[in-house]
Chain A
Amino acid sequence: MTAYGRPDHGGGPRVLTEFSLPSEPGNERRVADDVAGAVESLGLAPDRMERLKTAVAEATMNAMEHGNGYRPEVPVVVEVISSGRELLIRITDLGGSPVPVPDPEVPDLSAKLEGLQTPRGWGLFLIQNMVDEMNITGDRDHHTVELVMHLEEGSKGGEDASQVSGS
């Protein structure tokens, strides 16, 4: 788990954007695109940007579907934070259902093809494979999925951190 209140290399966490959207099917792509726009200046490599967008879309879909039951009046709240070495995206639902726990088992495609498992169940698996870290927290009123991407040496976020550290 990342400690957010702690300054990182002299530079504290910086909120790049924060917004909320109604829980309506299709809004996950809007969230992914808005997050991508907010982190554009950090210079993520294109393949990592694609992974981030997929993870954000999947986490948003889970929040809208499992957390908020696709009730449009219940929003999904998105925070995008840069802490110099890490990019954090927190996606919070307000639905009050049990906190989704990641399945420790890798989805078994062979079993799915033989009808022994449902074809579904890829969401959390995809998220876990797309980002460097995923944390789930919550209580009876809300759940937050936190996606963490380590900012690479070559990314502007990493360079910013080095400059702050060396100053």
Chain B
Amino acid sequence: MPAKYLEAEVRREAGVAVIELRGEIDAFAEEALAVAYEEAEAGNPETILLDFEGVDYINSTGIALIVGLLAKARAAKKRLVACNLSDHYVEIFNITRLSDFMGVYPDRISALSEASTP
């Protein structure tokens, strides 16, 4: 099975920087994630949303990369939230306690709605 390298595209919606993710979040994803996060942060948004709709695989290294982004966001006093995780990865976010530190929403509409609430 050929690896599906991560593609990350940044959009701005309702004052939120949305990072649309497609592919796999593993060791190969580090650079794409870092570049996208930097671009998202450049607009100084209060909230950065990771949209996992196009992601079909996250491994332990990918979890570590997300932990790194969360640490950056917290240091910059920004909210990092997530949406469109599959049930399996919601479970992994719960087990790792990532969901205790970042809002996890079923879809982008609910995430954006919550993000626009002060």
A contact residues vs B (CB 8 Å cutoff):
25-26, 28-30, 33, 47, 50-51, 54, 57-58, 61, 107, 109, 112-115, 118-123, 125-126, 129
Q: Is the CB of A109 within 8 A of B60?
A: no
B80 to chain A, nearest CB (A): 11
Q: Is the CB of A122 within 8 A of B70?
A: no
B61 on the interface (CB 8 Å rule)? yes
B contact residues vs A (CB 8 Å cutoff):
1, 3, 24, 26-28, 57, 59-61, 63-65, 67-68, 70-71, 74, 87-88, 91-92, 95-98, 100-101
Inter-chain contacts of B27 with A (CB < 8 A): 25
Q: Is the CB of B71 within 8 A of A115?
A: yes
A120–B65 alpha-carbon span in the complex (Å): 8
Residue on A nearest B65 in the bound complex, by CB = A119
A28–B3 alpha-carbon span in the complex (Å): 10
Inter-chain contacts of A25 with B (CB < 8 A): 3, 27-28
Q: Is the CB of A54 within 8 A of B100?
A: no
Which of A58, A112, A114 contacts B59, CB < 8 Å? A58
Known contacts A107-B96, A113-B71, A126-B95; is A58 also within 8 Å of B60 by CB?
yes
Inter-chain contacts of B70 with A (CB < 8 A): 113
Q: Is the CB of A119 within 8 A of B95?
A: no
B33 to chain A, nearest CB (A): 12
Q: Is the CB of B57 within 8 A of A29?
A: yes
A36–B64 alpha-carbon span in the complex (Å): 25
Residue on A nearest B3 in the bound complex, by CB = A26
Residue on B nearest A28 in the bound complex, by CB = B59
Residue on B nearest A109 in the bound complex, by CB = B97
A120–B61 alpha-carbon span in the complex (Å): 7
A62–B48 alpha-carbon span in the complex (Å): 32
Which of B24, B67, B74 contacts A119, CB < 8 Å? B67
Which of A26, A57, A109, A123 contacts B101, CB < 8 Å? A109
Q: Is the CB of A33 within 8 A of B88?
A: no
Could you list 20 A-B pairs, sorted by A, with CB under 8 Å? A25-B27, A25-B28, A28-B59, A47-B88, A54-B92, A57-B59, A58-B59, A61-B60, A109-B98, A109-B100, A112-B67, A112-B71, A118-B64, A119-B67, A119-B71, A120-B64, A121-B64, A122-B60, A125-B96, A129-B95
Known contacts A57-B59, A61-B59; is A122 also within 8 Å of B87 by CB?
no
A72–B27 alpha-carbon span in the complex (Å): 17
Residue on B nearest A126 in the bound complex, by CB = B60
A107–B67 alpha-carbon span in the complex (Å): 12
